[in-house]
């Protein structure tokens, strides 16, 4: 049985994601060029890796990228206390940081990470996310670039996991109910 057989619906196809990354990359290129800036792209592990890898192909600037891993203190996603598991190797001082996220849900993770980047002395901090679930927001965050809006449903693929599974799927989909049993 293929891992794809455990998916009920494909919400966003590989082609749609590639096309959207192309558009977003163009927009990012334009925006930063106008500011005479080159972003330090910061991908949040592990979910944003496939999105970041596709996106940077279309950013026509001499960018650098780095990774950061954060987790919530309680182990659940529902608290606001975010702890750094792996920090940047690069100094954030004076940088124009573009944080890459897989999905913005309550907004707590991104809110905390934006604060951390500002504390590092970044010149500017922007956020780009593959998916946005605005209906779930509890913290007001500015998301500068959004790939796709999704309803309040649990999705996997293209970096997003369920118990570390499904991350490598090249599309975003909804798992079948039996996956949760
Ligand atoms: P926030 O702090 O915005 O509530 O949490 C964002 C994180 O929650 C994402 O990086 C992701 O790990 C997780 N998350 C939120 N919604 C989903 C979803 O539909 N599917 C998966 N796989 N993870 C989700």
Among residues 77, 70, 23, the alpha carbon closest in space to that of 42 is found at 70
In a domain, 178, yes or no: no
Indicate if 140 belongs to the active site.
Answer: no
Residues of 5-44 as b/e, b for ≥16 C-beta within 10 angstroms? ebbeebbbeeeebeebbeebbeebbeebeeeeebbbbbbb
The response to whether residue 160 sits with its C-beta less than 6 Å from ligand 1 reads yes
What total number of domains does the chain contain? 1
In a domain, 62, yes or no: yes
- Number of helices (H), then strands (E), belonging to the chain: the values are 3, 8
Catalytic residue among 105, 140, 151, 152: 105
Ligand 1 atom nearest residue 107's Cα: 3
In a domain, 99, yes or no: yes
In a domain, 172, yes or no: no
**Residuewise pLDDT in 10s, the chain (181 residues):** 899 999 999 999 999 999 999 999 999 999 999 999 999 999 999 999 999 999 999 999 999 999 999 998 765 555 568 999 999 999 999 999 999 999 999 999 999 999 999 999 999 999 999 999 999 999 999 999 999 999 999 999 999 999 999 999 999 999 999 999 8
In a domain, 180, yes or no: no
CA of 34 to the centre of ligand 1 (A): 32
In a domain, 51, yes or no: yes
In a domain, 114, yes or no: yes
Range of the domain at 67: 14-150
Instruction: Identify the CATH number of the domain in which residue 77 sits.
Output: 3.40.50.2020
In a domain, 22, yes or no: yes
């Amino acid at each position: 049985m293929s891992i794809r057989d455990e998916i009920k619906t494909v919400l966003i196809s590989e082609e749609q994601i590639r096309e959207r990354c192309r558009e977003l990359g163009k927009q990012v290129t334009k925006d930063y060029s106008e500011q005479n800036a080159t972003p330090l792209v910061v991908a949040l592990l592990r979910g944003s890796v496939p999105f970041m890898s596709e996106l940077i192909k279309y950013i026509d600037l001499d960018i650098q990228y780095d990774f950061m891993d954060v987790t919530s203190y309680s182990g659940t996603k529902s608290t606001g206390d975010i702890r750094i598991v792996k920090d940047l190797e690069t100094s954030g001082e004076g940088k124009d940081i573009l944080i890459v996220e897989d999905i913005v849900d309550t907004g707590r993770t991104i809110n905390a990470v934006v604060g951390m980047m500002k504390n590092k002395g970044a010149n500017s901090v922007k956020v780009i996310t593959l998916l946005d679930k605005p209906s779930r927001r509890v913290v007001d965050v500015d998301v500068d670039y959004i790939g796709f809006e999704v309803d309040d449903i649990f999705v996997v693929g293209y970096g997003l996991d369920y118990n570390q599974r499904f991350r490598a799927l090249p599309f975003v989909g909804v798992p079948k109910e039996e996956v949760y049993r």
